Structure 1
Amino acid sequence: MIPYAKRLFFSLLFLFPTLSFASDEGHSDPFTKEFLAIFLILIAAVSGRFIARRFKQSEVLGELIIGIALGALLFSLNNRLVTTIRYQNEIREIIEETSDMEAEFDVAVKNYVANETELPDDVQARIVNVMTSEGFLNNFLNANYTLLFSSLGVLLLLFMVGLEVSSAEMIKMGSISFSVATLGVVFPFVLGYLVAEFLIPGIEDQNVAIFVGATLAATSIGITARVFKDANSLQLKESKLVLGAAVIDDIMGLILLAIVSGLVTSGNIDLTEIVVIVAKALLFLVFVYVTERYLLRHVVKFFGFFAGRNTFLLFPFTLLLLFAWLSSVIGLASIVGAFCAGLVLRDDLFKRFKRDHQTIEDLIAPIEGIFAPVFFVLMGFQVDIMAFGNWDVLLAGLMLTVVAIVGKLLAGMFLKKGYDKLLVGIGLVPRGEVGLIFASIGKSIGVLNDELFAVVIIVVILTTLVTPPLLSARLKKVRASANE
């Protein structure tokens, strides 16, 4: 790294915590801290990308690592914004539970955290300190605005991925994607259960082992999609197969979560809930197909009557938001809706509203390039590196990480000839935000204690971190073989 680049990078590292404490007193604009936060996150992302390129690694890996490093630094300095982002779910629950209490807010928060939560003492102290501090409401809103930028980033990323994959190709790979997704759920679930039941000490309840196995089943598409996109490899048949399998995987993961949660909480499996989840997922996919086949062209014309030449930019973005909302309403991940929105759109729908040779990607890519890095840096912010300090937790996390990776690789090994089996298996490895969702639900229903929650977080971290370099290396080999 050249000398002035080193000086710039380390200056930014020192500047980051300093500026994060800056006051916006005296300014009438309530969003000045938010402007500063996004500025610093983007600077961090650029720095992380630069370092990753210097070491010939995927840029997304640089964004994740710089997020982990800066998140840990700011968290150790008791930065309220980072603390609020890291414990957003717990804080939101506390606000909901204490909103109807007659006691003053500060007193209600302290009593609820002390008596109604099972959080570690140091976490309780941090949350109480943040929630009872002056200006908590503004801080909470700032954190939510920052997370909104993050959510838009991952939605735009999956939308862009959908644009580069045709629905006809996805349907053509339907049976193959389904088989890969099924094996990719079954293998990690069984292996995770066996490790939790027989190798991790302290797990005496079989239901806990079942839930731990379930947390390993689902795939997070965001990391893999970003690596494929950065490597200009979305048109590979393996890429399309992985993306299709990941969408199906999400539906299977929801069904498995419903089964396991019902088994753990009540000892019974609610078949009605499972049927409802499956029906909603199928109806959404039918809705997407019908929209593309029969409605989309007419809707674009109607929208264009009001929006004019802005239709080419506004319609794709509004469809992205609508599909993300719809998929979330029926219980699917919002990123599935964003991916489907990109899947159904084609440039020829907008001939009247665009310049020659202009594409939807040309308009959306710059927006995605701003928001997507925020998502990956903030994922790093939410990682608690102190989880690595407990040897028993670390060992259990490493064992489960191994079976989490092996389970997905096995799913790829059963593919027929013509596909790079290892590339497909690696593409299914990251757990990311999906694993975090499973872990948070397990903690909320009491099946995962603090140690097991930390174990799952380690699995999420490691599978997220190992995928970009492994996938990039395998893609290089695949492309090299194709050129021979």
Structure 2
Amino acid sequence: MTWFYPVFAITTEIQEGNPSLILAGVLLSLVMIYFASKIGGELCSRIGLPSVLGELVGGVIIGMSALKLIIFPESGLSAEDSLIIQLLQTTANLTSGTEEVVFHSMSEVISVLSELGVIILLFEIGLKSEIKELIRVGPSAIIVAIGGVAFPFLLGTLGVFYLFHLPLIPSVFIGAVLTATSIGITAKVLAELGKLSSEEGQIIIGAAILDDILGIIILAVVANLAKTGEVEISQIVYLIITAATFLIGIILIGRLISPWLVTMINGMKTRGSFLLTSIVFAFIFSYIANMIELEGILGAFAAGLVLAETEKRRELEKQIIPIADIFVPIFFVCVGAKTDLSVLNPTIPSNRESLILASFLIVVAIIGKLVTGFTVWGQPHLNKLAIGVGMIPRGEVGLVFAGVGAATGAFNSSIEAAIIVMVIATTFIAPPLLKIVFKDKPFQEETAN
């Protein structure tokens, strides 16, 4: 996940610009996002592919790689590249000199809405999961998670170090990026395939969450190594203890609070009390996770798990669907919109070296996760290939890891481009592969589109 833009910075930009024009830009952006989401999702659904793939492709089409309707400053583009800014200049009297302020402000608003989308998605996924089932598959999920971190990390680090003769620190950083797993993308596909509650689905979700935690720890260690040249054991111990305490503690505390919460809600007379209280519950958990240097989505998932244990579970599952339908597509379309396909162009000389390295990384990224499903021994009834495929997509998590590496100066633009190609490939290949490996049952959706 990306870090939230400081609120004071957004406020300052809004004060400097025209709030009505910023709102107009956000509204136009949302119109484009929803159009891309529904058209792409509908087309993919009609040809038997998960709709999330259509949302990603729709994002690519309206993003920086094609129409440039939804673009973001961090991509290196400016207001003059944005078609929405040009439309505002034509229709809303956007004055010269304020374009950049409006562009940056509306982009940050869309980014925040995107982050809310993935938080709500993981809250919804938590509601569809069961603590007992996650505990039951816990040992398998732990084995898969450890394998999903160890295999890509070792294969990637050793491969680029010995085959491509990169320095040690960039090699280690590339290995760290390969450990990432996008739980958001996998979870949405599993829900659409009706496999989220299956034993394989629960193993994938549990392993992806642990992967996220282990990946954060590895990334923090490697980033510190790149900056100082040494590893702080205290930092590793702190992150491990913090993550374990959070996941166990927040669920135990939540289960103590939830009966009181339901009793309080049952006594309320105003409309939407249960839905809003539950979302506040999820946001508080997400806030706590962010404050202790974990991902906010872990808190949202934990909140969903806790509320799934209450008598209100089915009611809340139905009520959260319209909220998810509004916010979740923003996340997936934005992931696609931020995808830079220009790094795939072999006619550009600087891309050729990157594509060679990227080809190796893609192979390692896929094989390194596929083998994790087969680390679960003694359970022949499991679709182990599906478990491995479910761990493949790097998505937004991989992009964040790559961004951290670039920020620390661990690798140059050529290596960063190769990593981006790997992220693109694994993100787009996983949804159709999951459909194929779960072909034993017909396509069905667990969530409304």
Task: Determine if the TM-score, normalized by the shorter chain, exceeds 0.5.
Answer: yes
1:280 shift after superposition:
1.3
The equivalences for 1:64-83 within 5 A come to 64-71=56-63, 72-75=65-68, 82-83=71-72
- Do the aligned residues in 1 keep the contact of 2:181 with 2:208 (CA within 8 Å)? yes
Distance 1:367 1:293 in 2: 24
In 2, the alpha carbon distance for the partners of 1:405 and 1:28 equals 46
Q: 1:256 to 1:227 in 2, by over 3 A?
A: same
Matched position secondary structure for 1:66: helix
Matched residue pairs, number? Answer: 404
CA distance in 1, matches of 2:142, 2:332: 28
Task: Please say if 1:60 is aligned against 2:16.
Answer: no
Contact 1:74 1:82 survives alignment (8 Å): no
Greater CA drift, 156-165 or 134-143: 134-143
Deviations 1:183-235 (A, max 9, x none): 1100000111122112236x2x1121111111101211011101011112111
Q: SS in structure 1 opposite 2:382?
A: coil
1:257 aligns with 2:219: yes
* Structure 1 CA distance for aligned equivalents of residues 360 and 220 of structure 2: 25
Deviations 1:291-345 (A, max 9, x none): 2332221234346656755332111111111111111111111111111111110
Please tell me whether the aligned partners of residues 218 and 435 of structure 1 are also in contact (alpha carbons under 8 angstroms). yes
Q: Greater share of helix residues, 1 or 2?
A: 1
Q: 1:36 to 1:374 in 2, by over 3 A?
A: same
Relative to structure 1, is the Cα distance of residues 315 and 399 closer, same or farther in structure 2, using a 3 angstrom cutoff?
same
SS of equivalent residue, structure 1 residue 375: helix
Contact 1:300 1:315 in 2 (8 A): no
Give 1:364 deviation, angstroms. Answer: 0.5
Which amino acid in 2 is paired with 1:438? Answer: F
8 Å CA contact 1:192, 1:216 repeated in 2 = yes
CA offset digits 1:346-373 (Å, max 9, x no partner): 374449xxxxxx6111100111012111
Paired position in structure 1 for 2:127: 163
| Equivalent position to 1:365, from 299, 321, 329 | 321
Q: How does 1:136-175 map to 2 (within 5 A)?
A: 136-175=100-139
The equivalences for 1:382-397 within 5 A come to 382-389=338-345, 390-397=351-358
* Separation in 1, partners of 2:20, 2:51: 37
Deviations 1:88-117 (A, max 9, x none): 9x99xxxxxxxxxxxxxxxxxxxxxxxxxx
State the match for 1:229 in structure 2.
Answer: 191
Deviation at 1:264, TM superposition (A): 2.2
Gaps of 5+ in 2: 1-16, 82-95, 346-350, 444-449
For residue 162 of structure 2, what is the aligned residue in structure 1? 198
Q: Does 1:460 align with 2:449?
A: no
Residues 229-378 of structure 1 mapped to structure 2, 5 A cutoff? 229-302=191-264, 308=270, 310-346=272-308, 348-350=310-312, 359-378=315-334
**Secondary structure of the structure 2 residue equivalent to 1:378:** helix
C-alpha change, 1:347 and 1:309, in structure 2 (3 Å) is farther
Report how far residue 256 of structure 1 moved.
1.1
- Structure 1's 456 and 27: CA in aligned 2 closer, same or farther, altered over 3 A? closer
Find out whether 1:411 has 2:367 as its counterpart. Answer: no
CA contact 1:242–1:427 (8 Å) conserved in 2: yes
TM-score normalised per structure 1: 0.78
Distance 1:397 1:306, change over 3 A: same
Aligned with 1:39 (options 23, 27, 31): 31
Larger Rg: 1
Q: Show the counterpart of 2:40.
A: 48
Letter in 1 for 2:293: G
2:360 corresponds to: 399
TM norm structure 2: 0.84
Letter of the 2:259 counterpart: R
Match of 1:102 in 2: none
Deviations 1:256-300 (A, max 9, x none): 112222222222111111111112112211322222332221234
What are structure 1's unaligned runs of at least 5 residues?
A: 1-24, 92-121, 123-131, 352-357
Q: How far apart, in 2, do the equivalents of 1:218 and 1:392 lie? A: 23
C-alpha separation in 2, matches of 1:254 and 1:53: 34
Cα distance in structure 2, aligned partners of 1:139 and 1:445: 27
Question: In 2, are the aligned partners of 1:221 and 1:243 still within 8 Å (CA)?
Answer: yes
Q: Structure 1 370/309 Cα, relative in aligned 2: closer, same or farther at 3 Å?
A: closer
Q: What is the match of residue 387 of structure 2?
A: 424
Q: 1:279 to 1:382 in 2, by over 3 A?
A: same
State the alpha-carbon separation in 1 of the partners of residues 22 and 54 from structure 2: 31
Identity fraction in percent: 34
TM-superposed deviation, 1:134: 2.7
1:84 aligns with 2:77: no
Q: Indicate conservation of the 8 Å contact 2:126/2:308, yes or no.
A: no
Q: Kindly indicate whether the alpha-carbon contact (under 8 Å) linking 1:184 and 1:411 is maintained by their aligned counterparts in 2.
A: yes
Change in 2 beyond 3 A, CA 1:313/1:229 = same
Give distance in 2, aligned partners of 1:321 and 1:380: 25
CA 87–361 in structure 1, closer or farther in 2 if over 3 Å, else same: farther
* Partners of 1:40 and 1:253 in 2: CA distance: 33
Quick check: 1:347–1:359 contact (8 Å CA) kept in 2? Answer: no
